[in-house]
Amino acid sequence: MSVSESKKSKDGGVYETVKIIVQALLLALIVRTFLFQPFNIPSGSMKETLLVGDYLFVSKFSYGYSRYSFPFGLAPFSGRIWPSDPQRGDVAVFKLPSDTSIDYIKRVIGLPGDKIQVRQGTVYINDVPVKRERISDYIEKTPFGGEVAVPRYRETLPNGVSFDTLDLTDNGAADNTRVYEVPEGHYFMMGDNRDNSVDSRFPQVGYVPFENFIGKAEIIFFSVRGGEPAWEIWNWPWSVRWGRIGTPLWS
The 10 Å Cβ neighbour count of residue 152 is 19
Distance CA(33)–CA(23), nearest Å, equals 15
For residue 103, give the amino acid letter: D
Q: Which of 47, 60, 95, 106 is catalytic?
A: 106
Question: Considering Cα of 119, then 125, then 127, then 132, what sign does the dihedral take?
Answer: negative
7 included as an active-site residue: no
Helix (H) or strand (E) run with residue 220 in it:
strand 213-223
Helix (H) or strand (E) run with residue 212 in it:
none
106 included as an active-site residue: yes
CA distance between the termini of the chain: 64
Helix (H) or strand (E) run with residue 110 in it:
strand 99-110
DSSP structure class, residue 216: E
Catalytic residues: 45, 106
